[in-house]
Amino acid sequence: MNSDAVTALLAKNPSLKTAKSKLEAMEPGAYVIHRSWGFGQIKKYDDSTQKLIIDFASKKGHAMDPAFCLTTMDVLHAKHLLVRKETDAAQIASLIDKDPAQLVVEALQAYPNNATTAIDLEITLAQAIGEDRFKKWWAGAKKAIAKDPRIAVPVKKTECYILREIPVSAEDEILESFNGTRSARRRIQLAEQLVNAAEKGETKTDLTAILSGVSESVKDSNQLDAAERLYGAAIRDDLASLAKVDPSTLEPSQAALIANPRDLPAIAEKIPVQFQSRFLGLVLQTHPIEARDIVFNLLKTSQGKFTTECINFLVENGHTEELAAVLKRWQTEQNLRAPVLLWIVKNRHSKKFAKLLNDMITPRLLNAIFFAIDYEALQSASARRIPLGDILSEDTDLIGDLLSTADPETARDLANTLMLNQGFEELTKKSLLARFIKIFPSIQSLVATDAESKEEQLLVSRSSYERKREEYETIVSRKIPENSKAIATAREHGDLKENSEYKMAKQDQQVLMAQKSLLEKDLGRARITDFKDASIDQISVGCIVDIKSTTTGSGSRYTILGAWDSDPDNHVIAYKTPLGLALLSRKIGDQVKVKIGTSEDSYVVTGISRYADK
């Protein structure tokens, strides 16, 4: 906007005087960011309508009131990254690919005080680089940025990236941050960075003062849990070695922190990935006699990379045969957890472990996999992915390998288990079932039976449908999760052959899964009706029927409603009952024979009316 246009607008609306400089910046050619429309460029100011004409990516020539733009739109500095992407595209593309730290430096130069929040910077960079590419690019770029002495990197996203007036080395920045924080966790993180730099010969810092601060945090801080304290002690001891201080003189020692074997599972669950192997070595050093049994116990409940670390530890320490025996025993007892199962199927063909795992690649293992997937799906309220389910879908040879020793009956049972599983979508189930059918063609009948059951619709009232739906929700959201917990608890009691609680819980599971499956099929076939389509020409669903016994001459009146509407006490029958089926399509005067068990009765239809007219 030129000065005359701004003056005219201010004369019309004096309250905008404080925004005069921003209005003057809204000149043709300026680039802007709007809350709703995103990045754009002002093309002109239309004096006749007193509106800005702006080209946005998704809306060209969009007219906007300047007064409204004051609160919803920002005019960008000529050096802003998004502006330079338009005016100097080749240079920005080169920095993105070759020098991310310099790109951030130049991005910060466009902000007041050469600083902006981490959130704002990441949003701007994502727009400049492209959302699909940004995540991977940013993961590598942050490492280069952290090493650049010109840039102060924030700890939290709400804090600012700052372009320093005087560059500071990464080492000095770590020391400054260490001395400026009282957080025990943050001090341990910073000390670890110094240890890494010192081991590479990249630091000249006197580590004694840092060692003192970390030692204080490990010993006295109440902020740390057991895993954090142990890891802090390991970093402290590394610092001590680099500072020529004997780590054995420092308290508490790492060995003291893991002296009680009962504490180890909780510690193992939280230790950093890079410390897992070292942690197991420490267990061996601290508990040389019990180490093997301790690691087996840790393996049983391990997650992710720690599962691999535990197995490598056992193999490298000469416990391969014991490992094979324990895995088979856990399989028999149905105590193989998802992470261990995942490790087994991933390593079944590896040179190092193939011999160890050969006897486990059986139909029984597939059953354990299905159970673990179902259990994880029932425990999770979210739609998060299940790694075991993913590998079963992605590894096209896995089902074939597991079924290589199966007989047709076993394969059919496993296929049924698959169809009832909560951890797969319907399309995935069909894809996996096709792999069963390729090996055992007779399983095709499962698909045919399922298709037939879906073809026949069930006419139901809305109230009965809601009752069935509530019953289904109760089974899925309450009864099955409670049963899963009962199974998990019973499994912890030991030998499953003599475990009556486990057997009862498993029987309950079979009943619940069967009920769930039946309800799913019935709800899928249900068609809700209000029975207004019923006719009085002949008996149909939604009719009130008068009948008279040909034997006794006594009369009765029945209301024929939906498949789930039976109420014998009130003479309401479902059209799927023997009497209901016998009456359908009959007319007044027709004789009807109904056989229930060994007895057969004969009736005459004497009247037909509509339930909807009642």
Tell me the CB-side half-sphere exposure of residue 292, using CA atoms within 13 A: 12
pLDDT(315) > 50 = yes
> Order of strands, edge to edge, in the sheet holding 73-75?
59-64, 51-56, 38-46, 31-34, 73-75
Of all residues in the chain, the percent with pLDDT exceeding 70 is: 94
CA 116 from chain center: how many Å? 32
What counts of helices (H) and strands (E) characterise the chain? 30, 15
Quote the pTM value. 0.57
Mean pLDDT of the 379-385 span: 59
The rounded distance, in Å, linking the Cα atoms of 450 and 427 is 14
- Map residue 541 onto helix, strand or coil: coil
Strand 572-574, strand 73-75: pairing: unpaired
Return the pLDDT at 448.
56
Q: Rounded mean pLDDT of 112-141? A: 91
What φ, ψ does residue 546 adopt, rounded to 5°? -100, 130
If pLDDT is split at 50, 70 and 90, which confidence band does 598 have? low
Q: Name the token pair of 176.
A: 């400054």
Q: Which amino acid is at 1?
A: M
Say if residues 406 and 457 touch (Cβ distance below 8 Å). no
- Helical pair 408-419 and 444-455, crossing angle rounded to 10 deg: 40
Residue pLDDT, tens place only, 181-213:
888 999 999 888 888 878 777 666 778 888 999
Over 70: is that where the pLDDT of 498 sits? Answer: no
Q: Token pair of 117, please?
A: 């929040």
Residues above pLDDT 90, as percent of the chain:
45
Q: How far apart are CA 596 and CA 390, in angstroms?
A: 51
Tell me which amino acid residue 60 is.
Answer: K
561 vs 229: CA distance, rounded Å: 68
Give the mean pLDDT of the chain.
87
Extract the runs of DSSP E, i.e. beta strands, from 329-479.
458-460
Taking only the tens place, the pLDDT of each residue in 26-74 is 999 999 998 888 899 999 998 888 899 999 988 899 999 888 888 889 9
Q: What is the DSSP letter of 154?
A: P
Question: Each residue of 92-122: b (16+ CB within 10 Å) or e?
Answer: beebbeeebbebbbbbbebbeebbbbbeebb
Point out which residues pair with 162 in neighbouring strands.
115, 152
Of the candidates 2, 54, 44, 53, the one whose C-alpha atom is nearest the C-alpha of residue 23 is: 2
Q: Which of helix, strand or coil describes residue 53?
A: strand
The whole-angstrom separation of Cα 346 and Cα 350 is 8
Residue whose entry in the numeric block shows the structure tokens 């070759």: 98
Concatenating the DSSP letter of every residue in 476-525 gives IIIIHHHHHHHHHHHHTTS-GGG-HHHHHHHHHHHHHHHHHHHHHHHHHH
Q: State the Cα–Cα distance between residues 286 and 261, nearest whole angstrom.
A: 10
